[in-house]
Amino acid sequence: MLQWTDIVRYAKYGNPEPDRRVERTDAGWQEILTPGQYRVMRQKGTEPPYRNLYCRSYEPGRYVCAGCGSDLFNSTEKYHAISGWPSFTQPAGKAAVKYAFDDSHGMTRIEALCNVCDSHLGHVFPDGPEPAGLRYCINSQSLRRVDNR
């Protein structure tokens, strides 16, 4: 189980190696993503709170990256954070998400990205539920829910 100290260490000193990499040109991303997905995932945009697909959805399944299909989160780690965005307290695996410091908008936050294709997902905060205390605040645009295998 990842703790906040792990997240800060990954952001500072480097993330675990993913088991594969997916890379595309900017034009390539524009081709496969919707304009909304492109704005969030490749331009680090933020979708509106509450008016997004998975905010209030608790269907069982896996949440994969909308850009490369990699496993990011499981519905079992999804919880209601009253933030207006889908929130998870753990990722699907230690190497699923990549962490980076984000000093934009006059704040220091930790950005969450797909570790396989570097698409922007959202941010991680240390105010989630016990025992891990993590809150992954994620844009629905970056996710696709699929049924469990």
Q: How far is the CB of 106 from Fe ion (least distance, A)?
A: 28
| Residue 81 contacts residue 128 (beta carbons within 8 Å) | yes
> Is residue 17 exposed (0-12), middle (13-18) or buried (19+ Cβ within 10 Å)?
exposed
Mark the segment that binds Fe ion (CB under 5 A) among 47-55, 70-78, 98-106, 124-132: 70-78
The terminus-to-terminus CA distance of the chain in angstroms comes to 22
Give the containing element (helix H, strand E) for 26: helix 26-32
d(CA 129, CA 106): 26
Binding-site size, Fe ion (CB under 5 A): 8
String of contacts with Fe ion for each residue 36-55, x by CB under 5 A: --------------------
Q: Which of 18, 61, 67, 122 binds Fe ion (CB under 5 A)?
A: 67
By CB under 5 A, is residue 116 in contact with Fe ion?
yes
117 is annotated as an active-site residue: no
Residues at the interface with Fe ion (CB under 5 A): 65, 67-68, 70, 114, 116-117, 119
Residues with a catalytic annotation lie at 137
